A and B are shown apart, each in its own frame.
Chain A
Amino acid sequence: MSNCPKCNEKLSPFYMKQNCPKCNTNLVYYDLDNRLQADHEKAMREQEAVERVLNNIKTSAFGGALQIIRFVLMFSPLAWMCLPMFKANDGESVTLISVIMGIIGGGFDFSNPSYLFPVITMVCIIVFSLVVIISSLFSLGKKAFLRNTILSIINLLVLAVCIILTILQGANIGAGAIIVVVTYIIENIMHKLVDKKISK
């Protein structure tokens, strides 16, 4: 239900005609010039807001060498997961590629915990890394450093728990998992360095 903009007559949502049944005003074009002006002003406000966000992202991710290194580093776990993350209890290496190929080929043994837990670990790495990446894209602002650091520490703790649980299921830790842990530690240091640089 809406009203005629000129005479305020109530119009049913199913009333389809262009003209008001009471005052015959063209409902599509009434006050068009002012509505276009209002749309223009709204569009410019939205554009300014987007530009502020884009500037924040630009400075946080690509504003200097440190930011670029941190940004690349945060994506690097994806590459490290292609290295052997764990060795299952039957001696087979579990990597991101072997998991994907195993799932597509239908031969992945989810019933074996020494295979299942590495998969859970990898899912956690992907999900939590994404959260940290998104958070770090907004590193301008008073609480940004604190937020980035807390999220990175949570990320590291979750990974540590996942690794311990995987080892308890009979798997052995591989080079990939160790490098991911080291990467997360460096990430925390990078947050501090980037924050110092941005604060200047």
Chain B
Amino acid sequence: MAENKGDIRYVGVKETLIYGIANAGQCFGYNIIAGSYLSLFFTKVFGVPPTAVAAMMLFLGLWDTFNDPLMGSIVDRTRTRYGKLRPYLLIVPIPLGIATILLFAGPQLLGDKVTDAAKIIYMFVTYFFWELFYTLGDVPFWGMSAAISPSPSDRTRVISSARFISGILGGLSTPILTVLMDLSNKGAIPLSLSQVFLLMSILSATYGMGLFSLSGFFTKERVVQTIKEPSILDGFKALIKNKPLLLIVIGNVLAAIGGIGGFFSAYYYSEVVQMNSLTIIIYLPGTILGFITYLLIPKVKERFDNRQIIFLNGFVRLIVGIIVFLVGVKCFTNLWVVVPLLMIQNFLFSFFNTINAVIPTEMIGDTIDYMEWKTGQRNEGVSFSVLTFVGKLTGSISGTIGNALLPVIGLSFVQISATETMTVKAYEYTDTLIWGMFTLAPAILGLLPLIPYIWYDLTGDKLNQVREEMAERRAKLSIEVSGGANNE
């Protein structure tokens, strides 16, 4: 009875799809900002010195370590008749949309004749507000994946839907941006690079945030929360006491270091082969496999537990990364070699990327149930703030390290006019170093996040015990609170 109750389907197909579409809207803008295109925008288009961009990424990255759990705790304290997560999903898309436009509007708003100091202040302020609102939207959104249903299979479905649909619709922003950048660079469209970025930010704010707001209107919270709000301190305590969650956090933070591969990929396509839209062709086969992989997730999970999948991912990436680096090291500008090589790499990686997109989110949901099982308190806000924080930290750490490495590897940009910048490569081997940072470095650094998972034990029998006992407790609780009584 207990097992059946835990696996009952409560979330319908429409709600599952809407959750996915909302994530696509959110990701549409996020993909531009979290990818290295924000750094490229600030350095190459806005003309901010790379050291200032690196300093901002580092400073705001450190601020997030405190700010994100704080926002999570505020979400956990929220108790309204609409639920604890939905109010944020209804309101936040509006300020987040405005913040997205302002982030990319610097060159238009400030004009040509401003000092570097003014640009740096503008960049700091707009990025700070964008991050604040993004966190206030992202934490409740992912918290909803655990609160939408008490059933683990419902949660897996909504997470898969979110990742799958955001991969298609949300992923459109990067190819659109790269094509527009190429067209702008070649003068095929009457838009400068700064106007291209502004256009994309307006699209993100309207189309993206419009879709994101659907999650507030059409999803429901179905897991019973305590009526009494936990204090902000309780939120931080819960985070520290939750050992499996802490191990996931450490693993994800270490994984962020390997994110420099993503940072240098933009510079590889933009400055080495000088064809940003090449990514569309290179990612195409992998993208298709990635979508098919969503259907294979249940099969993979039948064979391996979540921890085993994470280890498998790390080792496959290491082997493939080394091979790709060695094959391409002498000919990384030869498109006849590089395009099929990177296509194969992405094809193999996309399988694990898809699984990786679902499993850590699902694991955080497990740790929330685990803490509820242990303490009686659910902390979706503070727990998923970790996911948000790590997501941003990936961009922040990789952006900081990457920006700091740009002068070391001899890559810099000289502004020759208000709208034009010239690339300077100091060494003969600068391009080779970019290739290495793009392919080899993330493969080796990808082993670091495996270390904390050696101690992760919320799998197998232990996880089943938590799920079964929680299903029983919830069944009783839902009958108790149905009369509208308080659940202390």
- Which residues of A approach B to under 8 Å, CB–CB? 6, 11, 15-18, 25-34, 36, 39-40, 42-47, 49-50, 103-106
Contact = CB atoms under 8 A, between A and B. Distances in A.
B224 A29 contact: yes
A30 B480 CA distance: 10
B478 A16 contact: no
A13 to B, nearest CB: 9
Contacts of A40: 8-10
A26 B14 contact: no
Contact of A46 (B12, B80, B188, B482): B12
A15 B83 CA distance: 12
B38 interface: no
Given A33-B482, A40-B10, A28 B81 contact: yes
B182 A29 contact: no
A103 B485 CA distance: 65
Contacts of A30: 482-484
Contact of B188 (A25, A28, A106): A106
B227 A26 contact: yes
8 tightest A-B CB contacts, nearest first: A106-B188, A25-B484, A30-B484, A29-B481, A43-B12, A46-B12, A27-B81, A46-B13
Contacts of A28: 81, 83, 221
B94 interface: no
A22 to B, nearest CB: 12
A43 B13 CA distance: 7
Interface in B175-191: 179, 182-183, 186-188
Interface residues of B, number: 34
A29 B81 contact: no
A111 to B, nearest CB: 14
B12 A39 contact: yes
B417 interface: no
B479 A18 contact: no
B260 interface: no
Contacts of B182: 104
Contacts of B367: none
Contacts of A36: 10, 222, 478
B69 to A, nearest CB: 24
B220 interface: yes
B222 A39 contact: yes
Q: Is the interface of B mostly helix, strand, loop or mixed?
A: loop
A47 B484 contact: no
B486 interface: yes
Interface in B58-85: 79-83
Contacts of B479: 33
B227 A104 contact: no
Contact of B80 (A18, A105, A106): A18
Given A15-B81, A33-B479, A43 B227 contact: no
B423 interface: no
Name, among A6, A43, A50, the residue most crowded by chain B CB atoms within 10 Å (CB to CB).
Answer: A43
Given A31-B482, A39-B222, A45-B12, 12 more contacts: A18-B79, A26-B484, A30-B484, A32-B478, A32-B481, A33-B478, A39-B11, A44-B9, A50-B13, A104-B182, A106-B186, A106-B188
A17 B221 CA distance: 16
A28 B487 CA distance: 11
A152 B166 CA distance: 33
A43 B12 CA distance: 4
Nearest to A23: B484
Contacts of A105: 186, 188
Contact of A43 (B10, B224, B482): B10
B277 interface: yes
Interface string B202-243: 000000000000000000111010010000000000000000
A27 B221 CA distance: 13
B339 to A, nearest CB: 14
Nearest to A15: B81
B251 interface: no
B487 A29 contact: yes
Contacts of A45: 12
Nearest to A50: B13
A46 B16 CA distance: 11
A39 B186 contact: no
Contacts of B9: 40, 43-44, 47
20 contacts: A17-B80, A18-B80, A18-B227, A26-B486, A28-B221, A29-B487, A30-B482, A36-B478, A39-B12, A40-B10, A42-B12, A43-B9, A43-B10, A45-B12, A46-B14, A47-B12, A47-B13, A49-B13, A104-B186, A106-B183
B87 A16 contact: yes
Given A104-B179, A106-B187, A32 B224 contact: yes
Interface in B274-308: 277
B51 to A, nearest CB: 34
Contacts of A18: 79-81, 227
Residue from B10, B183, B227, B478 whose CB has the most chain A CB atoms within 10 Å = B10
Interface string B253-286: 0000000000000000000000001000000000
A49 B17 CA distance: 14
Among A28, A30, A49, A50, find the residue whose CB has the most chain B CB atoms closer than 10 A: A28
B81 A11 contact: yes
Contact of A16 (B10, B81, B227, B486): B81
B481 A26 contact: yes
